[in-house]
Amino acid sequence: NAGVTQTPKFRILKIGQSMTLQCTQDMNHNYMYWYRQDPGMGLKLIYYSVGAGITDKGEVPNGYNVSRSTTEDFPLRLELAAPSQTSVYFCASSLTGQGTYNEQFFGPGTRLTVL
């Protein structure tokens, strides 16, 4: 199993450009998440999905969009990039979102700089 994979690893965008961050998991997990992590800070939830076709907003959704057409893929779309979106983006997945045991598996991250 590759686990959670993310592409690209690094990207520099100009203000106003758009891009899609890709995330794929091969563990057949229902739940998937997108986080951003600013330097020296914790992770902030952007969007999450509880299954194909179902997505919902997290703490910081403004400026982002997601879709979940398959169990495996959960792309994050940035429209009209702004310097405030400079961050490291992590995708994660988990088997369930409830229950007494819940582990999130994280991808390696995408480092995005907006200039």
Partner 1 sequence: GQSLEQPSEVTAVEGAIVQINCTYQTSGFYGLSWYQQHDGGAPTFLSYNALDGLEETGRFSSFLSRSDSYGYLLLQELQMKDSASYFCAVRGFNKFYFGSGTKLNVKP
Minimum Å distance from CB 18 to partner 1? 25
Q: Which pair of tokens denotes residue 29? A: 């997990």
| Closest to partner 1 by CB, 6 or 85 | 6
| Closest to partner 1 by CB, 58 or 75 | 58
| Closest to partner 1 by CB, 17 or 65 | 65
Q: 94 exposed, middle or buried (CB, 10 Å; 0-12, 13-18, 19+)? A: buried
Minimum Å distance from CB 20 to partner 1? 20
Q: Which pair of tokens denotes residue 115? A: 């200039």
Minimum Å distance from CB 107 to partner 1? 6
| Residues in touch with partner 1 (CB under 8 A) | 31, 33, 35, 40-45, 48, 50, 56, 58-59, 90, 97-109
End-to-end CA distance of the chain: 36
The DSSP line for 52-81 is TTEEEE-S--TTEEE--SSSSB--EEE-S-
| Closest to partner 1 by CB, 14 or 99 | 99
